[in-house]
Amino acid sequence: MTETKSVRVLIEGRVQGVWFRGWTVERATACALSGWVRNRSDGSVEALFSGQPETVQAMIEACRIGPPAARVSRLSVEPADAPAGPGFHQRPTV
């Protein structure tokens, strides 16, 4: 059985209004990750990534830069429970 890693990532900076969520969905789906991404009312973006450890780590590193118009000032990562189902989705703002 393949080992999986799940993390919650909080991305701060100029990350809303720059297509960060759409970019994240495209990248995570292409990498076969499960989880979700959403905007937060404080202006940050939150994501849950679950999959093979090296793929999750690569996604975290990609989020440090984000799409071209984004400017990431801070990124924090913490362990998380795996998402309930497969696939990667965009969720409503909280």
State the CB neighbour count (10 A cutoff) for residue 57: 15
Q: pTM for the full model?
A: 0.96
Instruction: Copy the structure tokens of residue 91.
Output: 């969720």
Taking only the tens place, the pLDDT of each residue in 42-81 is 999 999 999 999 999 999 999 999 999 999 999 999 999 9
Taking only the tens place, the pLDDT of each residue in 9-44 is 999 999 999 999 999 999 999 999 999 999 999 999
Query: Is 27 a residue of the active site?
Result: no
Please report, to the nearest 10 degrees, the dihedral formed by the alpha carbons of residues 69, 41, 51, 20 taken in order: -10
The one catalytic residue in 8, 14, 21, 38 is 21
The domains found in the chain, sorted by start residue, are 5-83 (3.30.70.100)
- 24 membership: H or E segment, kind and range: helix 20-30
The one catalytic residue in 8, 39, 40, 91 is 39
Query: Is 14 a residue of the active site?
Result: no
